[in-house]
Structure 1
């Protein structure tokens, strides 16, 4: 309904056609003769030249128009801004330029009450989604409206961007939204089946990747929608067998991103990526057990960590985690400098449960020196050449072995010989590139 960007109706001048195809020379020539053309719109949809440039990714023309002091928040017939159209079409350069020009991220269209954040999530443009969220941190929105409230903003039918991303099978967008504070168990209003959570919608869409992300961030498999259905029933209804197997309440509980890690003051992004990868791989191992013997069996996950096998070098062998003696140390506790593998770091943080009387989380402590963990970073692992060049070290591997023994002897008895798998077993807790027609937005229960 009026979402096309056809310029054929504007026969009185060729401005819109020139903008659409990116003919900068013709656009400049036309505007030189009649600057007022910038304020004209298409007859029905009321698209301005800025809307057309944004939707078609014509960054040079868009920049030229903005340089002429045109507002970045022009509205078309459906009260959509150029930023909404750029986010809908995944035109990241135009999104960034409009944000730099001060485009308002907190504007709602009149069709579905959606913002640019909803559009980026719905169409799966994760780069545009991240750009909008990053801009919102420094935008007046963060002060006046609140960033957390913006991330969980609802459209006219009560759907947050996370609901849309989960329903449309957009795992990258689901991850970005969760990482920025999206509420994993929020219920919808009238979108889908009323009362649906992102997990219900991912189950309906049959996206295993979305379900993995949601479960890893604490989505509740037992939460019911307004019809009393849990996500498992929704997956069965839509014949998504593998999803149903993971959502079955009788299946093993998934591992959840440890709450204490959310309160570490400085969790290095590279370290966080390693920890998240370890968590997802551990969950995939559980999936193999759940799906074993069914028609939905999954292949073994690919591990990026170097195999600590018979082929491992002498230098690398001395860098094995002193807790599990199975994985290479990849995470370093800042300040004290002790190192662990990602799996044991997760297990360490998962052993810190909230105090039931105060609901407060105790900060995780280093298992070697018992000092509080305030910062985590990627461990710096010495190579063979670096080890051989140590001054005065005639037998560096022996010294490094002794350091390993010292670390172990300093450790708490509760962590000696801790197996990553054993620890996790105790952790169980709970673009289409075009503007859509109106009927594509209707999501019937």
Structure 2
């Protein structure tokens, strides 16, 4: 019995024998499904555990509709399988490209209240829309799923209430240095994060927001108080230095890249590369033609040789966008 047949027969010993005999745990079958997708679709917790232990990847999508093993687990209604896949790195909000459905939407459509509850507890966003411009809440309303509707509405209220408690974040956004100082003195958490609710402030720290908004004095206050400049911020998973560089805030960059003795904080990650596109802070400054920001980063010792995922150094990126003056600055820096 091959691996797929073992899974469909719910025969765990046979599946183990197949894997021991060298069966490919990620082999795509004629329907475009991997063994993990099949086991997840059938809600087989022990089989899913076995396949994950054997190296099954959770990130494969099937080629017809673009669903993942997590979508399949949600459709099965087995919340234990859903939780296990999330524990192994499944993207909780991944949308299928044909329908635009997230796992949360599929849980609503399949009327699996327990799975909806779990996904909400694990941070699934409620504001995403599918290709019919429907949110999960819209789907619940349309199908008269009162209990599920209440769950999603309660989560939205919780998110709004949580944002309201982030007083340091609010003071930073307002650029109110005195209030920032007062709140820090009162014990406000320096590295608090905004929830992921579907706006431009998702998953930011106070330092990340201050760097993005160009509030140099607040950046200095936060660093002096012990805010960590190495923490990634935002959905792009960049650093505060990325934020300041992208928006051309050279003064903020100077504060963030100052010596340890000056800032009283850990040195910032000046050469960190964003996981989405491989851009460093210097690439970000170049991308938008911010000459002063780029000069500041060069003076701070930013590497000039790192390449984006598209294979470009900062100088090459400047040439792509026609920033000849900036390319000359970078070329001179490369020679020094």
Question: Could you tell me the TM-score, scaled by structure 2's length?
Answer: 0.48
Relative to its length, the structure with more helix (as a share) is 2
Question: Could you tell me the TM-score, scaled by structure 1's length?
Answer: 0.37
